[in-house]
Amino acid sequence: MVDLSTNLSGLILTNPIIAASGTFGFGKEFASFYDVNILGSFCTKGMTYLPRLGNPQPRIAECKAGMLNSIGLTNNGAEHIARHEFLEIKNYFKKPVIANVCGFTKEEYITNAKLADESPTVGLIELNVSCPNVKQGGIGFGTQTNILFDLVKAVKNAVKKPVYVKLTPNVTDIKPLALSCEDAGADGLCLINTLLGARIDIKTRKFILANKYGGYSGQGIFPVAVRMVNEAFNCVKIPIIGLGGISSAADTLEMMMAGARAVQIGTANIIDPFACKKIVEELPILCQKLGINKISEIIGIAK
Protein backbone atom coordinates (compact mmCIF):
# COMPACT_ATOMS: atom_id res chain seq x y z
CA MET A 1 0.00 0.00 0.00
CA VAL A 2 1.47 3.35 -1.07
CA ASP A 3 1.43 6.12 1.52
CA LEU A 4 0.18 9.18 -0.40
CA SER A 5 -0.20 11.46 2.63
CA THR A 6 1.55 14.81 2.80
CA ASN A 7 1.93 17.54 5.41
CA LEU A 8 1.23 21.19 4.67
CA SER A 9 2.25 23.08 7.81
CA GLY A 10 0.29 20.76 10.06
CA LEU A 11 -2.58 20.21 7.63
CA ILE A 12 -2.35 16.50 6.77
CA LEU A 13 -3.71 15.58 3.34
CA THR A 14 -4.56 11.97 2.53
CA ASN A 15 -3.02 12.58 -0.90
CA PRO A 16 -1.28 15.53 -2.58
CA ILE A 17 -4.03 16.29 -5.12
CA ILE A 18 -5.72 19.68 -4.67
CA ALA A 19 -8.16 21.24 -7.15
CA ALA A 20 -6.94 24.75 -7.97
CA SER A 21 -8.76 28.00 -7.33
CA GLY A 22 -10.83 29.35 -10.19
CA THR A 23 -11.31 25.95 -11.81
CA PHE A 24 -13.37 24.18 -9.14
CA GLY A 25 -15.75 26.84 -7.84
CA PHE A 26 -16.66 25.84 -4.29
CA GLY A 27 -16.74 22.17 -5.23
CA LYS A 28 -20.52 21.83 -5.38
CA GLU A 29 -20.80 21.28 -9.14
CA PHE A 30 -18.02 18.68 -9.11
CA ALA A 31 -19.65 16.88 -6.18
CA SER A 32 -22.48 15.97 -8.55
CA PHE A 33 -19.96 14.10 -10.75
CA TYR A 34 -18.01 12.17 -8.10
CA ASP A 35 -17.25 12.03 -4.38
CA VAL A 36 -14.90 15.01 -4.03
CA ASN A 37 -13.75 13.68 -0.64
CA ILE A 38 -11.23 11.55 -2.54
CA LEU A 39 -9.19 14.74 -3.04
CA GLY A 40 -6.50 15.82 -0.64
CA SER A 41 -8.32 19.17 -0.60
CA PHE A 42 -9.52 21.88 -2.95
CA CYS A 43 -8.84 25.59 -3.21
CA THR A 44 -11.91 27.79 -3.30
CA LYS A 45 -12.74 30.47 -5.83
CA GLY A 46 -10.86 33.71 -5.14
CA MET A 47 -12.59 36.05 -2.70
CA THR A 48 -12.43 39.84 -2.85
CA TYR A 49 -13.94 42.17 -0.24
CA LEU A 50 -16.69 43.49 -2.53
CA PRO A 51 -18.66 41.34 -5.01
CA ARG A 52 -17.26 41.39 -8.56
CA LEU A 53 -18.90 40.71 -11.90
CA GLY A 54 -15.48 40.25 -13.44
CA ASN A 55 -14.12 41.45 -16.76
CA PRO A 56 -16.17 42.05 -19.91
CA GLN A 57 -16.63 39.22 -22.40
CA PRO A 58 -15.10 37.50 -24.26
CA ARG A 59 -12.80 36.46 -21.45
CA ILE A 60 -11.66 32.99 -22.48
CA ALA A 61 -9.61 32.08 -25.54
CA GLU A 62 -8.37 28.67 -26.63
CA CYS A 63 -4.64 28.13 -27.19
CA LYS A 64 -2.42 25.29 -28.24
CA ALA A 65 -1.68 23.23 -25.13
CA GLY A 66 -3.80 25.43 -22.89
CA MET A 67 -6.10 28.41 -22.66
CA LEU A 68 -6.17 32.14 -21.94
CA ASN A 69 -8.53 33.55 -19.35
CA SER A 70 -9.36 37.02 -18.16
CA ILE A 71 -12.24 36.24 -15.81
CA GLY A 72 -11.39 39.03 -13.38
CA LEU A 73 -12.09 37.38 -10.00
CA THR A 74 -15.86 37.04 -10.36
CA ASN A 75 -17.26 36.30 -6.88
CA ASN A 76 -20.00 37.22 -4.38
CA GLY A 77 -17.72 39.05 -1.97
CA ALA A 78 -15.78 37.84 1.06
CA GLU A 79 -18.51 38.24 3.67
CA HIS A 80 -21.09 36.36 1.60
CA ILE A 81 -18.58 33.59 0.86
CA ALA A 82 -17.65 33.26 4.53
CA ARG A 83 -21.27 33.21 5.73
CA HIS A 84 -22.74 31.04 2.96
CA GLU A 85 -20.38 29.20 0.58
CA PHE A 86 -17.95 28.11 3.30
CA LEU A 87 -20.83 26.75 5.37
CA GLU A 88 -22.41 24.97 2.41
CA ILE A 89 -19.15 23.17 1.62
CA LYS A 90 -19.65 21.10 4.79
CA ASN A 91 -22.61 19.38 3.10
CA TYR A 92 -20.44 17.62 0.51
CA PHE A 93 -16.80 17.92 1.61
CA LYS A 94 -15.64 16.67 5.00
CA LYS A 95 -12.03 17.88 4.91
CA PRO A 96 -10.55 21.35 5.44
CA VAL A 97 -10.37 23.48 2.29
CA ILE A 98 -7.87 26.10 1.14
CA ALA A 99 -9.32 29.62 0.89
CA ASN A 100 -7.98 31.76 -1.95
CA VAL A 101 -7.81 35.32 -0.63
CA CYS A 102 -7.44 38.32 -2.94
CA GLY A 103 -7.44 42.07 -2.44
CA PHE A 104 -6.78 45.49 -3.95
CA THR A 105 -5.26 47.02 -0.82
CA LYS A 106 -3.37 45.64 2.16
CA GLU A 107 -6.39 46.35 4.35
CA GLU A 108 -8.66 44.31 2.06
CA TYR A 109 -6.28 41.37 2.13
CA ILE A 110 -6.24 41.48 5.93
CA THR A 111 -10.03 41.72 6.21
CA ASN A 112 -10.60 38.86 3.77
CA ALA A 113 -7.94 36.69 5.40
CA LYS A 114 -9.56 37.21 8.79
CA LEU A 115 -12.92 36.05 7.44
CA ALA A 116 -11.29 32.92 6.04
CA ASP A 117 -9.36 32.39 9.27
CA GLU A 118 -12.58 32.43 11.32
CA SER A 119 -14.25 29.73 9.23
CA PRO A 120 -14.00 26.15 10.58
CA THR A 121 -14.23 24.96 6.96
CA VAL A 122 -10.87 26.53 6.10
CA GLY A 123 -7.62 24.75 6.97
CA LEU A 124 -5.18 26.94 5.09
CA ILE A 125 -5.16 30.40 3.48
CA GLU A 126 -3.78 30.93 -0.01
CA LEU A 127 -2.79 34.56 -0.42
CA ASN A 128 -3.25 35.38 -4.10
CA VAL A 129 -0.72 38.10 -4.99
CA SER A 130 -0.38 37.00 -8.59
CA CYS A 131 -3.62 37.42 -10.53
CA PRO A 132 -2.85 39.02 -13.93
CA ASN A 133 -6.51 39.64 -14.76
CA VAL A 134 -7.27 42.76 -12.73
CA LYS A 135 -6.05 46.28 -13.34
CA GLN A 136 -5.18 46.99 -9.71
CA GLY A 137 -3.92 44.95 -6.78
CA GLY A 138 -3.16 41.28 -7.31
CA ILE A 139 -0.02 40.97 -9.41
CA GLY A 140 1.18 44.42 -8.29
CA PHE A 141 1.75 43.08 -4.78
CA GLY A 142 3.54 39.99 -6.03
CA THR A 143 6.32 41.51 -8.11
CA GLN A 144 8.05 43.81 -5.62
CA THR A 145 9.85 42.22 -2.69
CA ASN A 146 9.38 45.09 -0.22
CA ILE A 147 5.64 45.41 -0.87
CA LEU A 148 5.22 41.63 -0.79
CA PHE A 149 7.11 41.36 2.50
CA ASP A 150 4.93 44.04 4.09
CA LEU A 151 1.70 42.42 2.90
CA VAL A 152 2.60 38.88 3.97
CA LYS A 153 3.80 40.05 7.38
CA ALA A 154 0.60 42.05 7.94
CA VAL A 155 -1.65 39.11 7.01
CA LYS A 156 0.38 36.68 9.12
CA ASN A 157 0.01 38.98 12.13
CA ALA A 158 -3.77 39.07 11.62
CA VAL A 159 -4.54 35.33 11.34
CA LYS A 160 -3.77 32.05 13.09
CA LYS A 161 -4.08 29.54 10.24
CA PRO A 162 -1.18 28.77 7.88
CA VAL A 163 -0.67 31.28 5.06
CA TYR A 164 0.68 30.15 1.68
CA VAL A 165 1.56 32.84 -0.87
CA LYS A 166 0.63 32.24 -4.51
CA LEU A 167 3.43 33.69 -6.63
CA THR A 168 3.44 34.97 -10.18
CA PRO A 169 5.73 33.58 -12.91
CA ASN A 170 5.72 36.98 -14.65
CA VAL A 171 9.07 38.01 -13.17
CA THR A 172 12.67 37.54 -14.22
CA ASP A 173 13.70 35.82 -10.97
CA ILE A 174 11.37 33.99 -8.58
CA LYS A 175 13.96 33.49 -5.83
CA PRO A 176 13.93 36.99 -4.23
CA LEU A 177 10.13 36.87 -4.03
CA ALA A 178 10.16 33.41 -2.46
CA LEU A 179 12.75 34.51 0.10
CA SER A 180 10.79 37.68 0.85
CA CYS A 181 7.70 35.61 1.68
CA GLU A 182 9.71 33.28 3.91
CA ASP A 183 11.34 36.20 5.71
CA ALA A 184 7.92 37.76 6.31
CA GLY A 185 6.70 34.60 8.03
CA ALA A 186 4.79 32.83 5.26
CA ASP A 187 4.11 29.18 6.09
CA GLY A 188 4.46 28.09 2.49
CA LEU A 189 4.36 29.00 -1.19
CA CYS A 190 2.11 28.17 -4.16
CA LEU A 191 3.56 28.47 -7.64
CA ILE A 192 3.07 29.17 -10.39
CA ASN A 193 0.04 31.23 -11.35
CA THR A 194 -0.71 31.92 -15.02
CA LEU A 195 1.68 33.47 -17.54
CA LEU A 196 0.53 36.71 -19.12
CA GLY A 197 -0.43 36.18 -22.76
CA ALA A 198 -2.62 37.31 -25.65
CA ARG A 199 -4.37 36.02 -28.79
CA ILE A 200 -5.39 37.95 -31.92
CA ASP A 201 -8.14 37.08 -34.39
CA ILE A 202 -6.40 37.54 -37.74
CA LYS A 203 -9.73 37.97 -39.56
CA THR A 204 -11.02 40.83 -37.41
CA ARG A 205 -7.50 42.04 -36.55
CA LYS A 206 -8.60 42.43 -32.96
CA PHE A 207 -7.49 40.88 -29.68
CA ILE A 208 -9.74 37.95 -28.80
CA LEU A 209 -10.06 38.85 -25.12
CA ALA A 210 -12.01 41.99 -24.31
CA ASN A 211 -9.36 42.75 -21.69
CA LYS A 212 -6.67 42.25 -24.38
CA TYR A 213 -4.30 40.23 -22.20
CA GLY A 214 -5.03 37.26 -19.96
CA GLY A 215 -3.51 34.42 -18.00
CA TYR A 216 -2.12 31.51 -20.02
CA SER A 217 -2.59 28.15 -18.30
CA GLY A 218 -2.55 24.48 -19.23
CA GLN A 219 0.01 21.90 -20.32
CA GLY A 220 2.09 24.47 -22.20
CA ILE A 221 3.31 26.10 -18.98
CA PHE A 222 4.23 22.87 -17.16
CA PRO A 223 8.00 22.97 -17.85
CA VAL A 224 8.13 26.59 -16.65
CA ALA A 225 6.30 25.61 -13.47
CA VAL A 226 8.67 22.69 -12.79
CA ARG A 227 11.68 24.98 -13.17
CA MET A 228 10.28 27.71 -10.91
CA VAL A 229 9.17 25.27 -8.22
CA ASN A 230 12.65 23.79 -8.17
CA GLU A 231 14.26 27.24 -7.99
CA ALA A 232 12.06 28.14 -5.02
CA PHE A 233 12.68 24.76 -3.37
CA ASN A 234 16.43 25.32 -3.55
CA CYS A 235 16.28 28.69 -1.81
CA VAL A 236 13.58 28.39 0.90
CA LYS A 237 12.84 25.92 3.67
CA ILE A 238 9.05 26.36 3.76
CA PRO A 239 6.72 23.91 1.94
CA ILE A 240 5.69 24.45 -1.67
CA ILE A 241 2.46 23.59 -3.49
CA GLY A 242 3.22 23.21 -7.18
CA LEU A 243 0.82 24.05 -9.98
CA GLY A 244 0.86 24.97 -13.63
CA GLY A 245 -0.18 22.58 -16.39
CA ILE A 246 -0.42 19.42 -14.29
CA SER A 247 -2.79 16.96 -15.96
CA SER A 248 -1.66 13.45 -14.97
CA ALA A 249 -0.23 11.30 -12.21
CA ALA A 250 3.15 11.44 -13.97
CA ASP A 251 3.05 15.25 -13.93
CA THR A 252 2.26 15.10 -10.22
CA LEU A 253 5.32 12.98 -9.44
CA GLU A 254 7.53 15.17 -11.63
CA MET A 255 6.38 18.30 -9.82
CA MET A 256 6.95 16.69 -6.43
CA MET A 257 10.42 15.53 -7.45
CA ALA A 258 11.12 19.17 -8.33
CA GLY A 259 10.26 20.16 -4.75
CA ALA A 260 6.49 20.43 -4.35
CA ARG A 261 4.90 18.86 -1.28
CA ALA A 262 1.46 18.87 -2.93
CA VAL A 263 0.06 19.90 -6.31
CA GLN A 264 -2.93 21.79 -7.62
CA ILE A 265 -4.86 20.75 -10.73
CA GLY A 266 -6.35 23.68 -12.63
CA THR A 267 -7.06 23.86 -16.36
CA ALA A 268 -7.36 20.06 -16.58
CA ASN A 269 -10.62 20.37 -14.59
CA ILE A 270 -12.07 22.64 -17.26
CA ILE A 271 -11.13 20.18 -20.01
CA ASP A 272 -12.34 17.13 -18.08
CA PRO A 273 -14.40 17.43 -14.87
CA PHE A 274 -13.11 13.99 -13.84
CA ALA A 275 -9.44 15.01 -14.16
CA CYS A 276 -8.70 15.14 -10.43
CA LYS A 277 -10.51 11.86 -9.81
CA LYS A 278 -8.48 10.13 -12.50
CA ILE A 279 -5.19 11.46 -11.12
CA VAL A 280 -6.06 10.37 -7.57
CA GLU A 281 -6.86 6.87 -8.84
CA GLU A 282 -3.80 6.60 -11.10
CA LEU A 283 -1.28 7.95 -8.60
CA PRO A 284 -0.86 4.88 -6.33
CA ILE A 285 -0.67 2.59 -9.37
CA LEU A 286 2.13 4.65 -10.90
CA CYS A 287 3.93 4.87 -7.56
CA GLN A 288 3.90 1.09 -7.24
CA LYS A 289 5.33 0.71 -10.75
CA LEU A 290 8.15 3.13 -9.87
CA GLY A 291 8.86 1.54 -6.48
CA ILE A 292 7.64 4.57 -4.50
CA ASN A 293 6.22 3.40 -1.19
CA LYS A 294 5.90 6.79 0.51
CA ILE A 295 5.25 9.78 -1.72
CA SER A 296 6.66 12.31 0.73
CA GLU A 297 10.10 10.74 0.26
CA ILE A 298 10.35 11.92 -3.37
CA ILE A 299 9.92 15.65 -2.58
CA GLY A 300 12.83 17.51 -4.16
CA ILE A 301 14.65 14.28 -4.96
CA ALA A 302 15.57 15.23 -8.54
CA LYS A 303 19.28 15.96 -9.04
User: Would you name the residues annotated as active-site residues?
Assistant: 131
CA distance 227 to 224: 5
- CA distances in angstroms from 25 to 118, 190, 232, 246, listed in the order given: 20, 18, 28, 18
| Three-state secondary structure call for residue 227 | helix
**Residue 263: CA count within 13 A, CB half-sphere:** 34
Residue 85: closest CA among 7, 40, 25: 25
Cα–Cα distances (Å) from 231 to 99, 113, 119, 237, 259, in that order, read 25, 28, 33, 12, 9
Amino acid identity of residue 118, one-letter, is E
Strand-by-strand arrangement of the 195-197 sheet: 60-63, 66-69, 214-217, 195-197
